[in-house]
């Protein structure tokens, strides 16, 4: 194993000489994610605040003045505006107003006759502000309808409670942060898989096909180091880089989210509070079990990259050979985010996807330890198989001298 560690040391030494790669691998995530999440948080806050703080602009066509008082009474939510020039629908799409509300011209008469009148609302479903206007209108009308019904019941001498036969009271069964945890559980395997593969891919190519291309691999092979130790050294390096990439990216994202969570929740708070919220979501056992799963997964990816890299003539060929694997990882990663996949009975037996499933369940507080063990053992087995294969194939002269 000493030889493998020496080869790994050589790879890290080479990496340390490349300042640009070092910067993009180890420092960039700490700049990038806080920047992205900070911007996202600010924009989202600004958008929510501007939508919530502003009344919805409504063009009201109400000749009988039945609805106008209702809307005017809630000036925080509604602002009645004059008809715009040109097409009203276009004006809504252009966000000059949120909605046009046309009230039945016989609304007043129908109301007096205890009949139903209709309202015609024109809004833009694709626009959140317009959707908010409709939501506000529905809430206002619901209250007003109840009040009208209760008034009618009063005239008839009946109890006003007839208008409200039942009332729902809700109790939240989730633990604090479970909703966020479920989102994280769906999102995290995707991030882990992509970062682990993408983070180690270029390094893997550089250290395998790149060494062949640069003519340095032969000098390494001419030493007394056993071939399997050379390949293991490269594997350890590629795996370590993948793992480091994931950890750095996740740590950076965690810090960035920690800053974002309290501010988005409008509770106001520091990064420490945000991290506190995150740590309550992901308990140490969840984190340890997730990390344990990342090890064989990283080894599996590293093995695939090294295997393809050693068999390729040059870096271009290696990149082309590894790309389909990357596509599979992307598809698997995207699939792992799909809602309801945890109900698929076969999924615990599908390699890679079973890792996503296990992580997802861990974060959803629905850990299934049998499924976790299957995923772990299956990934370890596959990683072992690929290690054996890459060691065997590196000994093939056709692979070594294919330059």
Partner 1 sequence: MIQLTDVYKTFTVKDKRSRAKKQIEAVKGLSLTVKPGEIYGLLGPNGAGKSTTLRMIAGLMQADQGQIQVCGIDTKAEPEKARAMVGYLSTDLNVYGRFTPRELLRLFGEFQGVDAKVAERRGMHLLEKLQLLDFADVKMEGFSSGQKQKVSIARALLHDPKVVIFDEPTTGLDVLTAKTVLDLLRIMRSEGRSVIVSTHVMPMVDEICDRVGIIFDGELHGDAAPKQILETWNAKTLDEVFFQLAARSAAEV
**Residues in contact with partner 1 by the rule CB under 8 A:** 3, 6-7, 9-10, 13-14, 17-18, 214-216, 218-226, 397-398, 400-401, 403
Q: Helical H runs in 28-177?
A: 28-53, 68-73, 88-93, 107-112, 128-155
Shortest Cβ 326–partner 1 spacing (Å): 26
Judge contact between 338 and 360, C-beta under 8 A: no
Shortest Cβ 235–partner 1 spacing (Å): 17
Shortest Cβ 1–partner 1 spacing (Å): 14
Shortest Cβ 225–partner 1 spacing (Å): 5
**Residue number, 13 or 173, with CB nearest to partner 1:** 13
**Residue number, 172 or 397, with CB nearest to partner 1:** 397
**Residue number, 212 or 360, with CB nearest to partner 1:** 212
**Residue number, 15 or 140, with CB nearest to partner 1:** 15
Sheet holding 119-123, edge to edge: 78-80, 56-61, 99-103, 119-123
- Give the 3-state secondary structure of residue 101: strand
Specify the residue for token string 């599996």: 300
**Residue number, 221 or 292, with CB nearest to partner 1:** 221
Shortest Cβ 19–partner 1 spacing (Å): 11
- Give the 3-state secondary structure of residue 166: coil
Shortest Cβ 397–partner 1 spacing (Å): 5
Sign of CA dihedral 350, 352, 353, 357: positive
DSSP codes of every residue in 324-377: HHHHHHHHHHHHHHSTTGGG-TTGGGSTTHHHHHHHHHHHTT---HHHHHHHHH
**Residue number, 11 or 104, with CB nearest to partner 1:** 11
Tokens coding 123: 């809004």
């Amino acid at each position: 194993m000493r030889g493998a560690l020496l080869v790994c040391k050589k790879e890290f030494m080479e990496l340390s000489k490349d300042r640009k790669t070092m910067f993009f691998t180890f420092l960039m995530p700490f700049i990038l994610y806080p920047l992205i999440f900070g911007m996202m948080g600010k924009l989202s806050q600004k958008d929510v605040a501007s939508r919530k703080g502003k009344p919805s602009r409504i063009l009201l066509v109400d000749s009988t003045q039945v609805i106008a008082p209702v809307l005017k009474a809630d000036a925080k939510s509604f602002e009645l505006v004059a008809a715009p020039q040109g097409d009203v629908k276009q004006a809504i799409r252009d966000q000059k107003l949120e909605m046009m509300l046309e009230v039945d011209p016989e609304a007043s008469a129908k109301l007096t006759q205890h009949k139903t009148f209709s309202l015609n609302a024109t809004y833009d479903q694709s626009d959140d502000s317009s959707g908010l206007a409709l939501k506000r209108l529905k809430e206002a009308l619901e209250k007003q309808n109840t009040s009208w019904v209760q008034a009618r019941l009063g005239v008839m001498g009946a109890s006003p409670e007839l208008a409200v036969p039942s009332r729902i009271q809700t109790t939240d069964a989730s633990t604090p942060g479970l909703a966020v945890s479920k989102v994280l559980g769906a999102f995290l395997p995707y991030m882990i898989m992509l970062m682990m593969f993408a983070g180690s891919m270029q390094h893997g190519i550089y250290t395998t096909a790149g060494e062949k291309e640069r003519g340095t691999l032969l000098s390494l092979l001419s030493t007394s180091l056993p071939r399997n130790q050379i390949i293991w050294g490269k594997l350890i390096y590629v795996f370590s880089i993948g793992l480091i990439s994931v950890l750095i990216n996740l740590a950076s994202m965690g810090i960035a989210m920690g800053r974002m969570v309290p501010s988005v929740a409008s509770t106001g708070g520091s990064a420490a509070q945000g991290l506190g919220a995150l740590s309550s979501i992901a308990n140490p056992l969840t984190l340890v079990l997730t990390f344990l799963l990342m090890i064989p997964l990283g080894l599996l990816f590293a093995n695939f990259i090294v295997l393809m890299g050693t068999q390729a003539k040059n870096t271009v060929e290696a990149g082309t050979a590894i790309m389909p694997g990357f596509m599979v990882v992307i598809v698997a990663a995207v699939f792992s985010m799909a809602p309801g996949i945890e109900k698929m009975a076969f999924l615990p037996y599908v390699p890679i996807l079973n890792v996503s499933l296990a992580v997802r369940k861990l974060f959803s507080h629905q850990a299934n330890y049998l499924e976790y063990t299957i995923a772990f053992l299956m990934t370890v087995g596959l990683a072992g198989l690929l290690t054996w294969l890459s060691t065997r194939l590196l000994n093939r002269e056709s692979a070594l001298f294919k330059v």
